[in-house]
């Protein structure tokens, strides 16, 4: 197998893993969160950050070590749109991640802890927005792979 193929496989699997973890967060936020739920959602969110870092690293390895010349990516406005969408997802996840950590700590110290309803609603909206922005990334990738956005 070539390096390009291995990087492509890793990149696609990481995208699927990221989407799955984000979906689990959304599902957990759709039901009432109790002490156990606050702990579980923090456990799901932890790996999400690691997967995002790996996804970005493997993506840039594909740019510089993959079969296509790096100019194919670096000169494409759709590539930069993908990067912008990825950064937007990262920014959108800051508040939910901070809340999940806080909820988890509170759940450990207080067996009857229940996250405030207003916080759950606000975090649910942010995670839903994060998921919608995330959908732009494979959309831009598909357009770019088919030559759209090139001068």
Q: Considering Cα of 25, then 28, then 33, then 36, what sign does the dihedral take?
A: negative
Give me the chain's average pLDDT, please: 94
Task: Enter the tokens of residue 143.
Answer: 């357009």
Q: Can you tell me the distance from the alpha carbon of 92 to that of 140, in angstroms, rounded to the nearest whole number?
A: 19
Give this prediction's pTM: 0.91
The string of pLDDT tens digits covering residues 91-135 is 999 999 999 999 999 999 988 899 999 999 999 999 999 999 999
List pLDDT tens digits, range 78-92.
Answer: 999 999 999 999 999
């Amino acid at each position: 197998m070539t390096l390009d193929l291995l990087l492509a496989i890793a990149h696609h699997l990481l995208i699927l893993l990221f989407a799955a973890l984000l979906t689990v967060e959304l599902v957990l936020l759709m039901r009432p969160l109790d002490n156990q739920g606050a702990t579980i959602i923090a456990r799901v969110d932890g790996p999400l950050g690691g997967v995002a870092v790996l996804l970005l690293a493997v993506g840039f390895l594909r740019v510089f070590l993959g079969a296509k010349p790096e100019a194919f990516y670096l000169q494409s406005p759709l590539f930069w749109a993908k990067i912008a969408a990825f950064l937007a997802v990262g920014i959108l996840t800051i508040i939910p991640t901070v809340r999940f950590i806080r909820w988890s700590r509170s759940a450990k110290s207080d067996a009857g802890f229940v996250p405030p309803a207003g916080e759950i609603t606000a975090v649910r909206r942010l995670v839903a927005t994060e998921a919608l922005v995330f959908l732009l990334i494979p959309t831009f990738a598909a357009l770019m792979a088919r030559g759209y956005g090139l001068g």
